[in-house]
Amino acid sequence: MPDSTLTLARTGGIELARIVYTEEQIAARVEEMGAEISAAFPEGDRLLVLGLLKGSFIFLSDLVRQITRPLHVDFLVAASYGSGTTSSGKVDLLYNPNAEFVGRHVILVEDIVDSGTTLSRLVPMLEERGPLSLEICTLLHKHVAADLIREPRWVGFDAPHEFLIGYGLDHAEDYRHLPFIGSL
Ligand code: IMP
Ligand code: MG
C-alpha cells in the first residue's frame, strides 16, 4: 500500500476515499496486457499505438514497453471533460496525428471508457484513414454505456462506478501523477 504521508504530500493534503488499484496491481495487469496484445498479432505485424491524451500518457508508456512487436507511437488530443466529474457529451479533437495508418494495425489506447462518447466520435474518424485493423485497448472500463460503437478488445480492469484519479486520470488536471488509482 502507498505510504499515506507521501500520498498527502502528492495531493496537497486532500484525503482520497480509497485506493482502488495499487501500483503493483497495475504493473502486473499492464504486463499481461502487453503479452495479450503481442500474442494477438503474428510476428512481423506492424502496429501503430495511438494514445488518447492526456489521460493515457502513463498507461501507454508502460504498455508499449510490454509489447514485443514492431510499433510506432502517436497521440490524439481530444477534450471531452470540463472540470466536473460527469461527461459533458462533447468531444473536441485538438490534435490529429500525421502517422501512417495504411499497412498498420492501429490500437487506440484509452485511460477509461465511461459513456462511450469519445469512442463514438473517434472510431469512424480513425477508420477513414484505412488501417489494416482498428482495436481499442483501455486500462479501465466502467461498463455503463448501453451500446458502444466498438467494445474494447483489451480491458485492464472492470472499474467501479466511481470517479477515479491517478495513473494519468485527472480531476480538473489534478492527480494525474499519482502512481496508483484512487477514488476521490
Ligand atoms: P466517455 O467519452 O464518457 O467514455 O469518457 C471518456 C473520457 O472521460 C476518459 O478518457 C476520461 O478522460 C474521462 N473520464 C471518464 N470517467 C472518468 C473518471 O472516473 N475519472 C477521470 N476521468 C474520467
Ligand atoms: Mg480525460
Residue 80 lies in a domain: yes
* pLDDT at res. 78: 82
What's the pLDDT tens digit per position in 125-181?
Answer: 999 999 999 999 999 999 998 889 999 999 999 999 999 999 999 999 999 999 999
Residue 70 lies in a domain: yes
Residue 16 lies in a domain: no
Q: Whose CA is nearest to atom 11 of ligand 1?
A: 112
129: containing domain: 24-163
Is residue 87 within 6 Å of ligand 1 at its C-beta?
A: yes
Is residue 169 within 6 Å of ligand 1 at its C-beta?
A: yes
Residue 130 lies in a domain: yes
Residue 116 lies in a domain: yes
Residue 1 lies in a domain: no
Place of cell 460503437: 149
* pLDDT at res. 88: 54
Is residue 178 within 6 Å of ligand 1 at its C-beta?
A: no
Q: What's 167's DSSP letter?
A: T
For the domain that residue 88 is a member of, what is the CATH number? 3.40.50.2020
114 labelled catalytic = yes
Quote the CA–CA distance of 60 and 55 in Å, as a whole number: 9
Domain count, the chain: 1
Is residue 56 within 6 Å of ligand 1 at its C-beta?
A: no
* Strand stretches in the chain, DSSP E: 18-21, 47-53, 71-79, 92-95, 105-113, 133-141, 154-158, 164-165, 181-183
Ion ligand 2 residue ranges (Cβ < 5 Å): 55
In the predicted structure, residue 18 carries a pLDDT above the cut 70: yes
Q: Which atom of ligand 1 is nearest to the CA of 170?
A: 21
SS3 (DSSP) at 84: coil
Residue 131 lies in a domain: yes
* pLDDT at res. 83: 46
Q: For residue 169, how far is its CA from the centre of ligand 2 (angstroms)?
A: 6
3-state helix vs strand vs coil in the chain, percent to 5: 25, 30, 45
Place of cell 492527480: 175
What's the pLDDT tens digit per position in 28-84?
Answer: 999 999 999 999 999 999 999 999 999 999 999 999 999 999 999 999 998 765 545
Q: For residue 170, how far is its CA from the centre of ligand 1 (angstroms)?
A: 9
Residue 134 lies in a domain: yes
